[in-house]
């Protein structure tokens, strides 16, 4: 089983963020099927190149969409995708931004910078699902997701294997 809970926590460091201002924050955003950000779920300041994030609640209903094989763009998912059950899902993306007015949240005039989380150079994926489902695809990809938040690491070797995220330090790669 993959890491799952109603609350998730990540701790880690920002890689490539040398040009970030002291008021930079990292935010977890719900994403639509196209990957576009919908709403910020949580955020935290980046302090001395490190961050701690906690994600407590389910995503808002406007950020929940039917999980469809053709809309899964997770690392390691190739070929035919199979789902064991119909569920709603909400993927998340991480972004960094300059909280210029230091109000603790992103404002419309604060640009989002893509941030890519990994654990020991393997992609970290976080997704919320409304019920239990197994997602399988080519090259051995198989992820058993349980209702709520799920976080897993994808090993992109010869076969795509999925392993539990259990609190390892997260590298957040940014290109400001």
Contact 67, 86 (CB under 8 A): yes
**What is the reported pLDDT for 1?**
40
**What is the reported pLDDT for 6?**
62
**What is the reported pLDDT for 129?**
95
**Angstrom distances, CA of residue 116 to CA of 62, 91, 131:** 24, 14, 26
**What is the reported pLDDT for 8?**
85
Q: What is the distance between the alpha carbons of residues 99 and 93, in angstroms, rounded to a whole number? A: 18
**130 CB-contact burial (10 Å; exposed 0-12 / middle 13-18 / buried 19+):** middle
Q: What is the pLDDT of residues 102-143, one digit of tens each?
A: 999 999 999 999 999 999 999 999 999 999 999 999 999 999
Tell me the β-bridge partners of 135. 83, 143
| pTM score | 0.91
**What is the reported pLDDT for 160?**
87
Contact 66, 57 (CB under 8 A): no
**What is the reported pLDDT for 176?**
72
**What is the reported pLDDT for 162?**
93
Contact 45, 106 (CB under 8 A): no
Sites in the chain below the pLDDT cut of 50: 1-2
């Amino acid at each position: 089983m993959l890491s799952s809970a109603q609350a998730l926590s990540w701790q880690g460091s920002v890689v490539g963020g040398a040009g970030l201002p002291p008021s930079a924050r990292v935010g977890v955003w719900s994403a639509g099927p196209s990957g576009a950000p919908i709403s910020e779920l949580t955020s935290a300041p980046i302090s001395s190149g490190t961050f701690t994030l906690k994600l407590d609640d389910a995503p808002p209903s406007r950020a929940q969409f039917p999980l469809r094989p053709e809309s899964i763009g997770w690392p390691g998912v190739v070929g035919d995708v199979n789902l064991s059950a119909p569920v709603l899902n909400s993927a998340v993306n991480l972004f960094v931004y300059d909280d210029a007015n230091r109000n603790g949240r992103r404002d419309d005039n604060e640009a989002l910078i893509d941030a890519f989380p990994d654990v020991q150079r393997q992609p970290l994926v976080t997704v919320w699902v409304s019920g239990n489902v197994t997602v399988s695809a080519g090259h051995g990809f198989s992820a058993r997701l349980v209702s709520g938040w799920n976080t897993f690491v994808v090993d992109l070797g010869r076969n795509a294997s999925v392993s539990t995220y259990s609190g390892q330090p997260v590298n957040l790669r940014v290109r400001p």
